[in-house]
Amino acid sequence: MMVKVKINGIEVEVENGTKILHAAKKAGYWIPSLCYHPDLPPSGNCGVCVVEADGRIVRACTTPVYDGMEVKTEGRDFDVIRKAAVELILYSHPNNCVECHKNGSCELQDLAQKLHIHVSQTDHKPRPVTTRDTSSSAITLDPGYCIQCGRCVHVCNEIQAVHALAESNRGFETFVGPTNGRSLDESECVKCGQCSAYCPVAAIYETEDMDKLMLALDNPEKIVVAQEAPAVRVALGEEFGYEPGTNVVGKMYTALRRLGVNYVFDTNFGADLTIMEEASEFVKIFKESPNEFPLITSCCPAWVDFLEKFYIDMIDNFSTAKSPHQMVGTMVKTYWAEKMNVDPKDIFLVSVMPCTAKKYEIDRMEDMYASGHKDVDLTITTRELARLIRMRGIDFPNLPEGKADNPMGEYSGAGTIFGSTGGVMEAALRTAYKLITDEELPQPEIELVRGFRGIRHGSLEIAGNTVNVAVASGLGNVTKLLEEVRQARKEGKPTPYHFIEVMACQNGCVGGGGQPYGSSNEVRIKRAKGLYKEDSECAVRESHNNPSIQKLYKEFLGEPLSEKSHHLLHTKYIPRPVKLTGK
């Protein structure tokens, strides 16, 4: 039902129940807020968004409108109240903006500027809980910067269902972190980085590795090779003023070369390679042992960590295929090194990823050294690459379009859509259909796995057999889906699904924990659409039709699931139950 409300005397019509914050925006008024995020339920924790509604002082993010409501959002009194609320936060917040990890992208800093707060009106007293937790290879927790907005706790517990973060203590000594005195590394944390993506300040951020890359770039004895995940190309541009979803892949290649990278490959090639192995696993089960279904995809390291901690009973259902960037790493230091006649020890391979968990993945198991060397030497996030581009003075918008190097720069449209939820499943089904029927899938777009709902499922026919598939993104949705599988097993029923794609982050890698700050559901959808657009424009849309992939198997690997490919391109999983107390 639509209702009419007045915002500062201006009448607008909105849905009944719309929060004042959104009704005011429709009327053309900005109400300052800090704890609010469009993806999360409003909490009103910060107290900045106060307004007057029918004579009452309320918080605009949590208060719904009703027919006839009159709201006042501006005036000297509101300026004073809002400044006081922000100054109260600043009272206990570190005042070292120049040193801060999020200087220039801090929501608190931005809000203070918009409210014309240049100097705090109160004495400064840092919060007593300031010990930085650097135990995780992926995430750094700095509770001294926490403003108690509650975003990270909600995301970790309600959206991701990980429950690694909680508020401890009370009052001025309240802090957010793992419970029972544990470090992040000892906790349930799966390194997905969603907490860092939603944190408005620098209380949680990715473990930064830019210095390691710069040392390699400045080392004349190192051959520096870079690869970039599919989702990076449709998000990196946001850091330089582009609309979300704009594909800046050509400028990205050029920027990496300007930084000093010697060879630029593309993780999309690794995605095609992953599909060759993963689809072949599916076909093997399909033909030989269908009772072993479901097969669950494996390219997400945060999901791998989650599996090894909480779904140990499903380890046997997990594809053993490594993630795309790990496969590229292995091939660079074996196949490519042989072709180039270079010593793998002289190669420094950096992966640019939308993901914080990739920092953990490169050392997760000994088979991440399958080449005889560390297959991927370093992982940086999309955000870190943008910082490095700016720091080295590269004018990104005015860069010419570049191309990737071969043989690992050629990819199909299937490799591109890996970056969106449902993309791995769609890519795998395109190839599995060919392997089973020896015919191409008539329509490469598989609509039943596309879309942006947290859980999607459907069926398709392959060689007279019904294949039930499911896709889930966001670990909370993954949990719901896998509990359905567990329940079927408990009741002795057949598995409801044969093939399952899981992604730890909402909407897949486009919403990864290392993507540009300011992500929201709307932004993630735009990024995903950018990937699907590139897929539709690719001359080759199936992984098995990538000429460089065909050549790789012919010259080096033999065939999918061969002894050599299994040694180089597959991994294993180990139960890693979480202890409830620290060391």
Q: Are strands 70-72 and 347-353 parallel, antiparallel or unpaired?
A: unpaired
Tokens coding 522: 């709307």
**509 labelled catalytic:** yes
Active-site pick, 186, 238, 281, 410: 281
C-alpha to C-alpha distance for 190 and 423, rounded to whole angstroms: 22
C-alpha to C-alpha distance for 326 and 368, rounded to whole angstroms: 7
Tokens coding 21: 């914050």
**361 labelled catalytic:** yes
- Is residue 506 a contact partner of residue 521, using CB atoms and an 8 Å limit? yes
- Is residue 47 a contact partner of residue 59, using CB atoms and an 8 Å limit? yes
Active-site pick, 299, 355, 505, 538: 299
- Is residue 192 a contact partner of residue 475, using CB atoms and an 8 Å limit? yes
SS3 readout for 320-373 = CECCHHHHHHHHHHHHHHHHHCCCHHHEEEEEEECCCCHHHHCCCCHHHHCCCC
Active-site pick, 186, 188, 278, 501: 278
Active-site pick, 19, 358, 374, 434: 358
**13 labelled catalytic:** no
Angle among Cα 523, 528, 532 to the nearest 5 degrees reads 150
**292 labelled catalytic:** no
* Other Cβ atoms closer than 10 A to 361: 28
Active-site pick, 19, 509, 526, 543: 509
Tokens coding 274: 């992953």
Greatest C-alpha distance within the chain: 78
Q: Kindly give the interhelix angle for 475-490 and 301-310, rounded to the nearest 10 degrees.
A: 40
**278 labelled catalytic:** yes
Active-site pick, 186, 228, 238, 361: 361
**49 labelled catalytic:** no
Active-site pick, 319, 351, 473, 543: 319
Q: DSSP string of 525-543?
A: HHHHHHHHHHHHH-S--SG
Phi-psi region of 541 (alpha: psi -120 to 50; beta: other; left: phi over 0): alpha
Active-site pick, 366, 439, 491, 563: 366
**299 labelled catalytic:** yes
Type of residue numbered 222: K
Strand partners, 225: 263, 349
* Other Cβ atoms closer than 10 A to 298: 25
C-alpha to C-alpha distance for 43 and 25, rounded to whole angstroms: 19
C-alpha to C-alpha distance for 24 and 15, rounded to whole angstroms: 13
**186 labelled catalytic:** no
Catalytic residues: 278, 281, 299, 319, 358, 361, 366, 509
